[in-house]
Amino acid sequence: MRFDSPVWPPQWPEILDSVANVVQSGDWGRYHSVTCKELRERLLHSFRDSCFPDGHQTDDVRLCCSGNAALELALRAAKIGSGDEVLISAYDYPGNLRTIELLGAKPVLMDVKGGGFGFDEPSLVDACSRAETQSIRAVIVSHLFGEVLDAEPIRKFCDQKGWVLIEDVCQSLGAKGGNPATSTMSECFEHSFPEQLSPTQSAAAPIGLEANPIETLDKDASSSRPRVAEFKREIQSTRFAGCWGHLATLSFGGSKPVSAGAGGALVVNDTRLAASIGSWLERPGEVYPISPLQAAVLGPQLDRLQELQAQRNRTWQSFYRDRQDAYPRWQWMVAQQRAVEPNPYKIAWLAESREQRDRVIQAAHKIGLPIGEGYRSFAKMSDRRCRKLGACDRAKKLGDQLFVLDHRALLLEPSRIEQLVSAMDALYRQVDT
């Protein structure tokens, strides 16, 4: 029996209405459209609400034509150029590495941590203590496949070194990371104040996620419950992915959880860098613009981002609980589970070999499962193009053996989760024989 994924991109009436309004108003044909202005202000307000006032503050959000363009702007804002080095995971979206090279800089490759898709602060500090770092000017941290890396200590290390930290949030818009002691923000409130509304029941913040939890706690400052202060500290250490870096990139590309086919944004969390971005973007018109029609389709999706995030999480949790031991020849990559509030983009497994992975993908396509390979590892790049801080063996393994299930398969109604389980079981039996 063939598996049918939910339709993506979504075909919602509110998306059609939003586009129709932009066409009828004539806003679609203007240089400075109201629709783009509203999207920019909405994203800015949302990140400002999440980046709590402890030294990290979102100064600006600039819309652009793609996530690739957002990264190029970020590197230019950091004044990256010929002779500079940029530290990046040896397993990452290939466009990030190519953008570093585009500006004449050299990538410096770090291996990924065990069980994940990126590096962490201890491994970064250790590698840098044993290598030359004089030419490094920036670090790129990518939150891949819904995993939210612990970027806060990496930010602190970059500040000590005078480096610019750039977060790639293109696959993790709306995901939260930080203190793992609090499993989810909603859970924190439900356990602390069971008689009050949880954030998921309160008025939605502009990005489609919950309102600022610190404000909610402050309003209940008269409460004598002993855990209020503890929960407040835990909440303050959690933020949306993109709030720790000096800069962060977003993508609204065709496969993303919020999609316009193309488009992106640059989030600026550093006042010094905000001033230099305008000179690159405005000449005097926008160099890398997003169109009002693209902005129009994003608003309704942001309205329902929390809803779809919860739906993906429910499917993922149910599927994992039921089948975590069912595929012994595949290794689950469950790093996204460690996020405070994950937003699964793709569910990943490691096959036993490259050949087995290729068989999985070929068989999956025949039965309709949206499964594909991950990225190629940079570990095999020549020393002429990059510098490696170690052997990067784990990154090489990911490049050879990783396969991923696309997020649209997770948008199933609860009554259809069993269909996904049956299809994955059939796939495993076919490949295992």
Q: Mean pLDDT over residues 388-405, rounded? A: 96
- Are 398 and 117 in contact by the 8 Å Cβ rule? The answer is yes
pLDDT confidence of residue 140: 98
Measured distance CA(134)–CA(129) in Å, rounded: 12
End-to-end Cα separation, the chain, in angstroms = 19
pTM: predicted TM-score of the whole model, two decimal places:
0.86
The highest-level CATH class for domain 13-303 is alpha beta
Q: What is the DSSP string of 47-84?
A: HHHHS-TTT----EEEEES-HHHHHHHHHHHTT--TT-
Q: 261-278 pLDDT, tens per residue?
A: 999 999 999 988 988 888
Q: How many CA atoms within 13 Å lie on the side-chain side of 272?
A: 6
pLDDT confidence of residue 275: 83
CATH superfamily of 305-432: Aspartate Aminotransferase, domain 1 (3.90.1150.10)
Q: Mean pLDDT in the chain?
A: 85
- Are 182 and 188 in contact by the 8 Å Cβ rule? The answer is yes
- Are 231 and 188 in contact by the 8 Å Cβ rule? The answer is yes
Measured distance CA(365)–CA(388) in Å, rounded: 36
**233 has pLDDT over 50:** no
Q: Mean pLDDT over residues 27-56, rounded? A: 85
CA distances from 288 to 104, 110, 253 (A): 20, 30, 14
Burial class (CB in 10 A: 0-12, 13-18, 19+), 279: exposed
CA angle 322, 4, 295 (to 5 degrees): 105
Measured distance CA(169)–CA(272) in Å, rounded: 21
Q: Mean pLDDT over residues 371-383, rounded? A: 95
Q: Where are the domains of the chain?
A: 13-303, 305-432
Q: 309-336 pLDDT, tens per residue?
A: 999 999 999 999 999 999 999 999 975 4
pLDDT confidence of residue 146: 81
Measured distance CA(407)–CA(312) in Å, rounded: 7
pLDDT confidence of residue 228: 42
**206 has pLDDT over 90:** no
pLDDT confidence of residue 340: 61
At 217, the pLDDT band (50, 70, 90 cuts) reads very low
Q: How many CA atoms within 13 Å lie on the side-chain side of 295?
A: 28
Measured distance CA(205)–CA(45) in Å, rounded: 9
